[in-house]
Homo-oligomer: A and B are copies of this chain.
Amino acid sequence: MKDEKKRGRPRGFDASAAIGKAREVFWDRGFSAASLDNLSAATSLNRPSLYNAFGDKEDLYLDALEGYRADSMVALEDALDPSLPVRENLARMYDRALATYLHGDTAARGCLLISTATVEAVRHERVREVLGRSLADFDRAIEDRLALAIERGQLPEKTDPKALAQLASTIMHSLAVRARAGETREALEALARSGVDLICGAP
């Protein structure tokens, strides 16, 4: 933590709070449909402050994605607490995802990465990189937990943890898409439950 006071006029706002506000805008509108006026209004910062602090719109979007990725990773690691049974781990993982995905003013917003970064990934290489890395990280976190479960004999010896983890992620991706497509909470919860059953075996 570098707390050395810098010379010059100090910043009148909290940068990470501003990124948080920007995240909300991007989450609702996506990257392309989010204008700097929208971002400026949401953050209560005028454009030069945004440019000075974060760079251009794509830089700010990448910052928002990165913050979201980090938050999601913390939440995921927490849901996958190894002192709980794997079955409960997965249920918690989907529960938390749904709580996030279903939030929204008019319609559910899904996942910032899956639901807004995907469309930009073709033409914005840096977005594609963040998205790919994030998905790989999520896969990996689940894989590690499953590998531990196999080691502990809580899952069949022969299961391939990597493949099974990717399949578990797959359900999260679909929940994000389906939430944004307007499916009901009940339908999504049912899908999550049957996913847990398929992965861990019926209860």
Contact = CB atoms under 8 A, between A and B. Distances in A.
Nearest to A119: B30
A119 B176 CA distance: 11
Interface in A132-155: 132, 135
Given A107-B121, A115-B119, A118-B110, A167 B181 contact: no
Interface residues of A, number: 48
A82 interface: no
A180 interface: yes
Interface stretch (A15-23, A51-59, A187-195): A187-195
Chain copies in complex: 2
A129 interface: yes
A154 to B, nearest CB: 18
Contacts of A173: 170, 173-174, 177-178
Say what secondary structure dominates the interface of chain A: helix
Contacts of A182: 121, 128-129, 131-132
Contacts of A169: 174
Contact of A177 (B118, B160, B167, B194): B118
Contacts of A108: 122
Contacts of A181: 118, 121, 128, 131-132, 135
Given A118-B115, A166-B191, A132 B183 contact: yes
Interface string A91-119: 00000000000001011111000111011
A198 interface: yes
A49 interface: no
A108 B164 CA distance: 24
Contacts of A128: 107, 180-182
Given A118-B181, A128-B182, 4 more contacts: A32-B33, A33-B120, A164-B194, A173-B174
The 9 lowest CB-CB distance pairs between A and B, nearest first, are A32-B32, A170-B174, A163-B194, A30-B119, A32-B33, A173-B174, A132-B181, A132-B182, A131-B181
